[in-house]
């Protein structure tokens, strides 16, 4: 049988369907490509955000209107904010004369409208005369407590303008003309500031010589608060390891700097970088080494000499053993019962063998 011939209309219809299908595939491919590009752009923007690239653009200073009404302080402050390109908002804060800060996630990376991130820091600004009145009326400590009650998790800072200059000026005026300044009594500023340090947690003060210094302090504080939100959180290990000295001629200097476990090993006195590298190759994390050190089936003697046969490569290329002394030192320091004992004493067994037996 001869194959059935397709009519002209049918052929045109099939060609049109094929054309539409190709167009649809082309559109889907373009949409997929655009979506991939958008996702790539989003990830790139997110990385920038996580590294703090948008920190200064995202922080907002919520300035209480009373601060701006202080005249010379408000003028200097707003001028410096404008010069630095920092965002501020004049508002009515729950506590008068305060500045608080929030971080707003950029629209480019916020999938949904996100709430501003509150920064746990509050600054209270006072002119010298007003601060002195607060102290002389014996209401300063009550004010501190009220601020802490409103901002229980915040660091609190009292900033003053021309405080000591004002007090000295009033003292001199009273000395020269006692009759006109009979009601003046020097406030116990030093005593009050000492009580801030001894009676309160996360409360301190900053005293500026003039409006320019105060404005500079607030702007600098704003920049610091913005950037510190993206810093890596410190741990006991990172704090101790940051003090380690890595020789300039060390071949693995860059690797040690990037690896917290290596930095911690090098921070142990008398542990050379090549010793640390040998340990790291066998035990890539502190956990892997501590797992062996805390194994109840092994004796203290076995643990002390666990690392002695690890080989290190010297500058001349020959291999050497880590040795018993270094192995014992690392074990005793990492397993010491008291963190206040000197490392040399720990190496000699102080605070250790009273808790263990071989």
Please give the structure tokens belonging to residue 163.
């405080």
Whether 55-228 and 236-347 share one fold: the answer is: no
Positive/negative CA dihedral, 140, 145, 151, 155: positive
Q: What's the half-sphere exposure (Cβ side, CA atoms, 13 Å) at 248?
A: 0
Contact status, residue 277 vs residue 312, Cβ threshold 8 Å: yes
d(CA 17, CA 11) in angstroms, rounded, equals 10
pTM tops 0.75, yes or no: no
d(CA 336, CA 262) in angstroms, rounded, equals 19
Q: Domain 55-228, what fold?
A: Rossmann fold (3.40.50)
Positive/negative CA dihedral, 214, 220, 223, 226: negative
Q: Which CATH architecture has domain 236-347?
A: Orthogonal Bundle (1.10)
Domain residue spans of the chain:
55-228, 236-347
What's the alpha-carbon Rg for the chain, to the nearest Å?
34
Contact status, residue 159 vs residue 208, Cβ threshold 8 Å: yes
d(CA 166, CA 164) in angstroms, rounded, equals 5
Q: Which residues pair with 157 in a beta bridge?
A: 123, 204
Q: Which residues pair with 126 in a beta bridge?
A: 160
**pLDDT tens-digit profile, the chain (358 residues):** 555 677 778 878 888 888 888 889 989 998 888 888 888 887 887 887 777 788 888 899 999 999 988 767 888 999 999 999 999 999 999 999 999 999 888 776 666 556 788 999 999 999 999 999 999 998 999 999 999 999 999 999 999 999 999 999 888 887 888 777 667 788 889 899 888 888 888 999 999 999 999 999 999 999 999 988 887 765 555 555 455 566 666 777 788 888 889 888 888 878 888 889 899 999 999 999 999 999 999 998 899 999 998 988 765 666 788 888 889 888 888 887 766 666 565 556 555 544 444 3
Per-residue pLDDT reduced to its tens digit, 198-245 = 888 899 999 999 999 999 999 999 999 998 888 776 555 555 545 556
Distances (CA, A) of 288 to 3, 279, 291: 76, 11, 5
The torsion angle over the Cα atoms of residues 9, 11, 14 and 20, rounded to 10 degrees, is -80
């Amino acid at each position: 049988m001869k194959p059935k011939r397709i009519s002209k209309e049918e052929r045109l219809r099939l060609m049109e369907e094929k054309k539409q299908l190709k167009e649809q595939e082309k559109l889907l491919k373009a949409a997929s490509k655009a979506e991939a590009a958008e996702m790539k752009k989003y990830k790139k923007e997110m990385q920038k955000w996580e590294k703090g690239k948008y920190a200064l653009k995202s922080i907002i200073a919520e300035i209480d209107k009373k601060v701006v009404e202080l005249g010379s302080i408000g003028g200097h402050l707003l001028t410096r904010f404008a010069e630095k390109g920092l965002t501020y908002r004049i508002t009515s804060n729950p506590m008068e004369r305060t500045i608080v800060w929030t971080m707003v996630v950029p629209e480019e990376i916020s999938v949904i409208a996100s709430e501003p991130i509150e920064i746990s820091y509050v600054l209270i600004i006072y002119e010298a005369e007003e601060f002195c009145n607060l102290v002389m009326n014996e209401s300063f400590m009550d004010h501190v407590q009220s601020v802490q009650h409103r901002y229980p998790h915040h660091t609190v800072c009292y900033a003053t303008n021309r405080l000591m200059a004002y007090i000295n000026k009033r003292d001199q005026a009273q000395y020269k003309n006692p009759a006109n300044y009979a009601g003046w009594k020097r406030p116990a500023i030093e005593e009050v500031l000492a009580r801030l340090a001894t009676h309160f947690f996360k409360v301190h003060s900053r005293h500026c010589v003039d409006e320019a210094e105060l404005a500079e302090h607030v702007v600098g504080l704003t920049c610091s608060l913005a950037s510190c939100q993206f810093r890596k959180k410190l741990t006991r290990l990172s704090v101790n390891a940051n003090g380690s000295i890595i020789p300039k001629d060390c071949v693995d200097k860059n690797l040690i700097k990037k690896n917290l476990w290596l930095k911690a090993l090098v921070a142990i006195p008398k542990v050379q970088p090549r010793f640390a590298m040998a340990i790291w190759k066998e035990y890539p994390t502190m956990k892997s080494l501590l797992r062996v050190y805390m194994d109840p089936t092994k004796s203290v003697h076995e643990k002390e000499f666990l690392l002695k046969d690890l080989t290190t490569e010297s500058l001349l290329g020959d291999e050497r053993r880590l040795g018993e002394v270094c192995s014992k030192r690392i074990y005793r320091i990492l397993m010491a019962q008291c963190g206040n004992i000197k490392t040399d004493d720990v190496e000699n067994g102080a605070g250790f063998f009273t808790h263990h037996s071989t």
